[in-house]
Structure 1
Amino acid sequence: MRVDWPIERVDAVLTGLTGDPRKIAVYIRATDNLLRERFTMAHELGHLLLPWHLPSANCEVGEGALDLPTFSLEEEADVFASCLLVPDAWLLHQVDRSGDDMSQLLRELNAAEVTTAAALQALRRYLLAGWVFVSYGERQRIMPTRGTRLPNVPADKLVEVLASECFAHGEASLNGFPVYWYQMVEPLALPEKNIDDPRSDHQILMDAIAMVEPDLQRRNSIGMSANGKVGGALREAAGRPAIETFQAVRHRCEQWEHSTLLAQPDFLLWLAERSRAVETGMTKRRRSKS
């Protein structure tokens, strides 16, 4: 039910949560922003359908809920709303149609009829590391994808530095507001393994580490760190094109304490081979069962 109340920071109220579930009621604050109300309704539905969220009475659906430093119930409800209003299957279709044109992809998201923040949240759900979006509505918002390395500069200088350090950038209109995008990942070619190279992925990694670390015990420690650093990123990239995964994982390694390994051809070859394995589904677990 749409109702008027003066507390602008409270977008919705749920009642009847501790009694008969048939008496649960959802009240949405009436505004002149129907897209925001639509997102609020999907957000509240998330609270009702995710069983560990109840009881909860009041909601503050912020424009930047996914920027919270901890994984909260409000963030989970926002993810639910994003998935409901911008389904993965539809989003992937738009990604395929737009190809490498990020400005075109942003324009296609207008068809989802969600707020600018919700549309960008959906993109962040899908895209790998290396993208930053800057939107201008009531206030400037900077939204990097997971694992993206942002320049270590004051906030008021960040956009200027992004523009100077990015490898590509552009803009598009989303719900009447300009959205600027920056591609921070370097568009490198995917290294190819020589057909007569008999080394396993592990041996390629250890050969790369041996070029910078003479101590055997330290090599093993760095090897474990390398697998841990890229493991989570590779899981996120399951089924993606190897070149896309390679570029994103390489970008993540720029923030790693052993980032000097990026200068070693064998380390880049190891990242490329791991990226190819993720694209084809040939993970270590699957290979061991074959």
Structure 2
Amino acid sequence: MAEQRDRLYGGGRNYQLRLRYGLSAERVDQMIAGQGGVCVICLRAEAKHVDHNHLTGVVRGILCFRCNGALGQFHEDPRCLGDAAEYLEYRGSHARRLEIVLGKTVYEGRARLDGASWPRRRQVPGSAREGHLIRKYGLDEKDVQRLLGLQGGLCAVCWDVPAEHVDHDHATGAVRGMACGGCNTGMGQLDDDPVSLRRAADYLLGRLVTSVPAAGGGTRLSFTVPDVDPATVPLDGWASHREADGRHRSRVWRVDDDHEGPTWLTLGLERLLGSYKAMAEERMASR
């Protein structure tokens, strides 16, 4: 079988790409080169993983491992990704609720018991879970239940799934709320970064990656505002472009309240029809 794959498809990688995505290894390499070698969502890591719509099979782009995984954790829901960005910036509905009830946008329990104060060999009073909550978050079980009560038992990000995990700011230690496993993991995979979250949401809506005229003729990809040619930026040179793009998307990013409203439905259909048209033209050209 290995010999047949090598003879018919040029190797195992080419075989797997054709089997799963209908792409050749050469075409994937061309797509990576067109992106300047960088993941179009985070603009930080190398593009290595083919991303596709699991419903239609249409290939959307080449991402890094973490961004590709984060889309799955958020169930490829752009509204949820956008809400996660607002949540991390303490300006979403959850932060407003905490400010109304508690007078601040974070939940504060007792002072955290860090490793210096409570070495692991010493036991914190209460159960093992209680000890973990106090050490890591400065919360006891009553604090957790109160926070869950403020959220109605649901995730503070998606408001769709029961909350299971205490979510906190890894830099300051401030507890932001209770999140479900998917939202908590998805935010972590995107480094708790609102810029990447909004870029991921626009990527799913078809607003991130566009084709623009190239300087030497033809077209090239564009995925930042202001626009920059990916071929002119080294892999470690995207920081300033990320910053400028993040400011822009923070100002303008919106999605209709209804997940299946005009914005979601229209953009999704336009992208799907455009992909089918491109596939049909490619097949006709190959005949």
**Do these two structures clear the TM 0.5 threshold for a shared fold by scoring above it?**
no
Compute the TM-score of the two structures, normalised by the length of structure 1.
0.26
Compute the TM-score of the two structures, normalised by the length of structure 2.
0.26
